Amino acid sequence: MQPDDPRTIWEDVPAGDLILRIRRPPSAEDLIDEQEFAHDERLPYWAEVWPSARVLCGVLARMDLAGCSVIELGAGIGTGAMVAATRGATALATDWYPEAVGFARWNARNLGLHMDAEVMDWRDPPPAVLDRAPFDLIVGADILYEGRNGVALGALIPALCGPATRVIIADPRRPDARPFVDAMQRAGWTHRRDDLPVPGRIDETGPIVHVHSFTPPPGHHHKPVVI
């Protein structure tokens, strides 16, 4: 599905004092491809703006990101990267679905934002992304919903970080988030967790989202974390 498809819908996404009016598919379930799922259990989660994404947008809306480089991982439609762009960042949205990247680019253009978007598999990140590292800020929303995601992110995130990079992951208390957090702490990363309420619609994950903030250990260099 393309952004200009008449079946797409408009959604207003709250972000602090901002409202992002974005276009998205009407239903993620309608986009399920049985062949893709059989190959790697890929599901089109990108088509929804999940509660954790709305919480992340609120966090970013309160930050002054002028002059900062920001990458959003598992961005879907890219609302986090869009908010970062409104706050002055050089923002990059990434997702492994080309359709998601297409929607991210269309929505950013429609909002008049200067934001890039690239297709990225966490296990095989493209040079176009790696060459832009280190980033000042790495963000993601509800990206720890499977154990394999934590393993991939444990290798990818350190490769995108410099000594002063900050990582923010909004997570709706997924069970597989705990092993990732524990592994990052064992590797020397500083961790803080804030529990924030979900603005707007609440789903089965509940009204609270954990916002995990990480900073690299002293003397950090590009090295994967063992999960």
Token representation of residue 123:
């296990």
Q: What is the pLDDT of residues 204-215, one digit of tens each?
A: 889 999 999 999
pLDDT at 41 over 60: no
pLDDT at 28 over 50: yes
The pLDDT value recorded for residue 38 is 44
For residues 125 and 96, the answer to whether their CB atoms sit within 8 Å is no
- Characterize 189-220 residue by residue with b for buried, 16 or more Cβ atoms within 10 angstroms of its Cβ, and e for exposed: beeeeeebebbeeeeebeeebbbbebbbbeeb
Q: If you average pLDDT over residues 147-152, what whole number do you get?
A: 94
Question: Poorest-confidence range of 30-39, 70-79, 182-191?
Answer: 30-39
pLDDT at 221 over 80: no
Q: Which residues constitute the domain of residue 115?
A: 49-215
The pLDDT value recorded for residue 26 is 84
Q: What is the pLDDT of residues 166-183, one digit of tens each?
A: 999 999 999 999 999 999
The pLDDT value recorded for residue 157 is 96
Answer yes or no: is 116 within a domain: yes
For β-strands 18-24 and 9-15, DSSP reports them as antiparallel
Answer yes or no: is 95 within a domain: yes
The pLDDT value recorded for residue 53 is 96
Q: Which residue has the tokens 């800020």?
A: 137
Please report which confidence band the pLDDT of residue 37 belongs to, taking 50, 70 and 90 as the band edges: very low
Q: If you average pLDDT over residues 11-27, what whole number do you get?
A: 92
Q: Which residue has the tokens 């986090």?
A: 80
How far apart are the C-alpha atoms of 152 and 154, rounded to whole Å? Answer: 5
Q: What is the pLDDT of residues 84-116, one digit of tens each?
A: 999 999 999 999 999 999 999 999 999 999 999
Question: Poorest-confidence range of 29-33, 58-62, 119-123?
Answer: 29-33
Q: Nearest to residue 64, comparing CAs of 140, 137, 115, 142?
A: 137
Indicate the number of domains in the chain: 1
Q: If you average pLDDT over residues 139-151, what whole number do you get?
A: 95
Which CATH number belongs to the domain containing residue 104 in this structure?
Answer: 3.40.50.150
Answer yes or no: is 220 within a domain: no
Output the average pLDDT for the chain.
Answer: 91
Answer yes or no: is 33 within a domain: no
Q: Which amino acid is at 80?
A: G
Answer yes or no: is 39 within a domain: no
For residues 210 and 198, the answer to whether their CB atoms sit within 8 Å is no
pLDDT at 219 over 50: yes
Q: What is the pLDDT of residues 113-142, one digit of tens each?
A: 999 999 999 999 999 999 999 999 999 999
For residues 78 and 92, the answer to whether their CB atoms sit within 8 Å is no
Distances (CA, A) of 15 to 44, 51, 54, 129, 177: 23, 12, 7, 26, 24
Q: If you average pLDDT over residues 35-59, what whole number do you get?
A: 77
For residues 68 and 90, the answer to whether their CB atoms sit within 8 Å is yes
Q: If you average pLDDT over residues 62-83, what whole number do you get?
A: 97
Answer yes or no: is 221 within a domain: no
The pLDDT value recorded for residue 223 is 59
Answer yes or no: is 107 within a domain: yes
Count of beta carbons in the 10 Å neighbourhood of residue 64? 9
Answer yes or no: is 224 within a domain: no
